Amino acid sequence: MIHHIPNVLNAAQVKEFRQQMDQADWTDGKKTAGTLSAAVKKNQQLPEDSPITHALSEQVINAVWNHPLFVSAALPHLMIPPLFNRYEANESFGFHVDNAIRLIRGSNQHIRTDISCTLFLSEPEEYDGGELEIEDTYGFHNIKLPAGDLILYPSTSLHQVTPVTRGCRVASFFWVQSMVRDDSQR
């Protein structure tokens, strides 16, 4: 099931995130892609070991743990610390399915990725293209949310980020191991 979680971050928080990110050095997004998805991934990411990544990641974790709708929809047990990406001129991430198991950065702990999450940090009018397209049993859904809003969906869903043709799409993404593994029972 796909869930829209509004107002995870407020406008002031989004502005602060973007100011910090504008000062950061970005790297090739393929560094965190699995073998198959690397072939269709063309974007930029904040480095996983960057102090900015760690600081912003902590703020996202606090925001989602304190958001009642997120907690009731995801029933989170564990989370992979959030990462941050951006897409500019013709960058995209073709159709793929997220890895079923991921390593929690800075640890030896692996977790199931039951739920994938994208927190939008750009307003829809800031860029053309860049929709998160998710396939489920009801077809394809094109998602482009206001900055500060989050979408969560089963990690087993086939999905992509369509090419950005104007502007810049910035987002945070992460995975949740739910207390309830099966999406149909969550």
Catalogue all structural domains in the chain, each as residue range(s) with its CATH number: 3-185 (2.60.120.620)
Angle (CA) 64 15 163, round 5°: 80
pLDDT digits (tens, 9 = 90+) for 127-142: 999 999 999 888 999 9
- pTM (2 d.p.): 0.95
Those residues whose C-beta lies under 8 Å from the C-beta of residue 68, and which sit 6 or more positions away, are none
- Does 185 have pLDDT greater than 70? no
| Beta bridge partners of residue 140, listed in sequence order | 135
At residue 150, the pLDDT reads 98
At residue 38, the pLDDT reads 83
